[in-house]
Amino acid sequence: MSELPTFTFSATANSPTTSLWRVTPGHAANVSAENDPTAGSDMLAERTKVQISQEALDTFQAYTEAAKTGSTASSSLSLSEGVKLHAPDALSEQDQQALIASLHRDPVAVAKEALETQGQAMKAANLQLSAISTTIEQTYTRLLETIASAHPDLKGAAFGFSVDAAGALVLTNASSLSADQRDRLLRTLNASDDLVKQANDLADAQIALFEVERFSLGRDFNRANYPQTIDIGAELLARVAARNAPRDGPAAGLHPLNLANNWRQQLWAKGEHKPMSERV
């Protein structure tokens, strides 16, 4: 005599996923092949039948219908004997598809695509910077002519300017000027709406290119430290002076000066260093 195993349904009310089936000893009729030699294959088929009570089947069907409509009541999976498994929030369908797609992609292709994306971003950032650099150069040189005409004592004065985090223009390298000269000069610069806007655009464009290039050289470059790092006036005037200067003779020195005042060189020479813990 033997007991046939039967599948019984064990479900918890708060399970959000497919309920668990477990094999438990069930009660079956006493069967003995030795006492019933006519049983044969019929007996074997009977022994392998899975028995599910109607109540268990009804419960399971009701639960699966509830799961389809999202009406199950809990986010944890419960096992028999009170053991629970935590089920984290599921990814959205879009995120799941993106994850699956990334897992099947060739790593070399992924790296190549990343480089291409970065290259396109660098090209766009360079074009933006080039355009604003040309515009502000024209604006600044015209304004210097106006300043020299309205303030003869400032003609040929040595100074530079930058832009602070609040968007206002500030003087740089103007220690040779008197307080009155600095005050008049600063008011004149900030009175030019075009120059103020273009200086802010230039700072943003330089920082944007710096970030997309991902080549910081241990420097931290942002609007907070920009006025201590970049002298916009020095870069503009050095570039204008070197543009048509000969490569030899007395004016040849303008080319190294132009290079030294390029915003990248200024960033390298005067830029704020990142803390060692933040360097990549």
Q: What is the pLDDT of residues 53-112, one digit of tens each?
A: 777 777 777 777 766 665 555 444 443 344 444 445 667 888 788 777 777 777 777 777
Q: Which of 67, 83, 66 is nearest to 10 (CA)?
A: 83
Q: Give yes or no for residue 25 having a pLDDT over 90.
A: no
Q: Please check whether residue 72 is in contact with residue 66, taking contact to mean a CB–CB distance below 8 angstroms.
A: yes
Average pLDDT, stretch 152-156? 93
Angle at 168 between CA 152 and CA 192, to 5 degrees: 45
Rounded distance, CA 63 to CA 69, Å?
10
Q: What is the pLDDT of residues 157-188, one digit of tens each?
A: 999 999 999 999 999 999 999 999 999 999 99
pLDDT given at position 43: 55
Q: Among 21-25, 84-88, 244-248, which is the least confidently predicted range?
A: 21-25
pLDDT given at position 57: 73
Q: Please check whether residue 168 is in contact with residue 232, taking contact to mean a CB–CB distance below 8 angstroms.
A: no
pLDDT band at 27 (very low <50, low <70, confident <90, very high): very low
pLDDT band at 239 (very low <50, low <70, confident <90, very high): very high
pLDDT given at position 163: 98
Predicted TM-score (pTM) above 0.85: no
Q: Give yes or no for residue 26 having a pLDDT over 50.
A: no
pLDDT given at position 5: 47
Rounded distance, CA 42 to CA 259, Å?
97
Angle at 24 between CA 23 and CA 25, to 5 degrees: 130
DSSP string, 80-115: GGG-EEE-PPPPPHHHHHHHHHHHTS-HHHHHHHHH
Rounded distance, CA 111 to CA 113, Å?
5
3-state class (DSSP) for residue 172? strand
Tokens of 111: 């790296």
Q: Which of 32-41, 159-168, 212-221 has the highest mean pLDDT?
A: 159-168
**Average pLDDT along the chain:** 78
Cα-based distances in Å from 107 to 112, 114, 121, 253: 9, 11, 21, 49
Q: Give yes or no for residue 219 having a pLDDT over 70.
A: yes
Alpha helices in 151-262 (DSSP H): 179-191, 193-213, 226-229, 232-243, 254-261
Residue 29's identity, in one-letter code, is A
pLDDT given at position 72: 52
**Percent of the chain clearing pLDDT 70 (strictly above):** 70
Q: Please check whether residue 63 is in contact with residue 10, taking contact to mean a CB–CB distance below 8 angstroms.
A: no
pLDDT given at position 84: 44
pLDDT given at position 116: 78
